[in-house]
Structure 1
Amino acid sequence: MKFLLIVVPVLLMGIYAFKRQKTLITNTKKSIYDFIVKDIQGNSFDFSTLRGKKIMIVNTASKCGLTPQYKQLEEIYTKYKDDQNFVIIGFPANNFMRQEPGENKEIAEFCELNYGVTFPMMEKIDVKGKNQAEIYQFLTKKQFNGYKDSKVKWNFQKYLIGRDGKLEMIINPQTKPNDPSVIAWITK
């Protein structure tokens, strides 16, 4: 009986430690280049193809007061994509007051028709909550991104990734994509 009183708690502690370690192992991505996601057409999009580029990741929505930011996003993408080796990656999300209710095809049509979006758009995901996409776990948790913890406050929050694939800045949703601080980051 004494044996069981000692062995059972030790086994339980070992199982707990193993499960905790397993959780940490699945979240060992060190840079944005470790991610493969689906684009808005359902094709694989490998972030490793963006090595050496500066990347802005932004969660988007079609029925938000900030939706006109698509225009500035497209303008800076067009202006800096070649000269500054810069790319914007949009992730539609319906996490804030159901402001992105459409399906991927509808979202793609809306972006192209209304704002002429040519920067890469990914499939609709959750950027917060219990179903938060793995890429947003990376972006919002310091233990994964090595930069800082953050919460996605609203649609059009911007995450700026340096040429080394590491998170460098987080820009509030209300800050326009063509804000001088963002342009300075792109061009430095």
Structure 2
Amino acid sequence: MATNIYDFTLPALDGTTIDLSAYRGQPILIVNTASKCGFTPQYEGLQALWTQFHKAGLVVIGVPSNDFGQQEPGTSEEIGAFCQKNYGVSFPMAARSVVRGQEAIPLFGWLDAELGFLARPRWNFFKYLIGRNGQPVAWFSSITPPTSARVRNAVERALLPA
């Protein structure tokens, strides 16, 4: 039974594995993403957060999902090329994964168990901020841009020394 985010791994977009234990002690922003969604331009804001706060310790991880409106139909290669070409994404990206329901990947099952019904992703670009201790500290719905004061303030608080 997982006790924190560091107990999980994700298949990476490039075919390797993202071992979340490698980020122990760092805040992590997990976002379920999609390439053909009205919220897709949020990749730009996620990249801006990554660029601004990566050296301070923030990790941003995109988890593409085709769960909502079939808005992520591409292969790993297509998703990676789209993100790089259109938004210059350089933060880690997981392989396309199921993020809701009985088939959800273990990480999203854990987030559901930890945060409850209201925090379940109901569309693309739900954001989950994990503190330095590996526990969720905040979540944000699709309509909250990554560059909003609400997200930025939560990230800045999560980056404070423990």
* TM bucket normalised to smaller: over 0.9
Q: Supply the distance in 1 between the matched residues of 2:108 and 2:42 (Cα, whole angstroms).
A: 20
SS in 1 for 2:129: strand
Q: Distance in 1 between matches of 2:68 and 2:11?
A: 21
1:129-149: per-residue Cα shift (whole Å, max 9, x none)? 2311111001111xxx3x444
Aligned residue pairs total 156
- Indicate whether 1:187 and 2:156 are aligned: yes
Q: Which of 128, 145, 148 is 1:176 aligned to?
A: 145
Unaligned ranges ≥5, structure 1: 1-27
Q: Equivalent residue of 2:89, what SS?
A: coil
**Could you tell me which of 84, 102, 109 is aligned with 2:81?**
109
Structure 1 residue aligned with 2:61: 89
Q: What TM-score do the two structures reach when normalised by structure 1?
A: 0.80
Q: CA deviation at 1:173?
A: 0.7
Runs of 4+ aligned structure 1 residues displaced above 6 Å come to none
**Aligned equivalents of 2:41 and 2:51: distance in 1?**
16
Residue 187 of structure 1 deviates from its aligned partner by 1.2
Aligned pair partner of 2:34 in 47, 61, 67: 61
Q: Which runs of 5+ in 2 are unaligned?
A: 158-162
Greater percentage in helix: 1
Give me the whole-angstrom Cα distance separating, in 2, the residues matched to 1:170 and 1:129.
18
| RCO comparison, higher one (Cα < 8 Å, 6+) | 2
Mapped to 1, the partners of 2:144 and 2:32 lie a distance apart of 13
* 1:16-46 deviations in Å (ceiling 9; x for gaps): xxxxxxxxxxxx1010000012110111111
Structure of larger gyration radius? 1
| In structure 1, distance between residues paired with 2:6 and 2:83 | 26
In the alignment, residue 154 of structure 1 is paired with which amino acid? W
Q: What is the RMSD computed on CA atoms of the aligned residues? A: 1.0
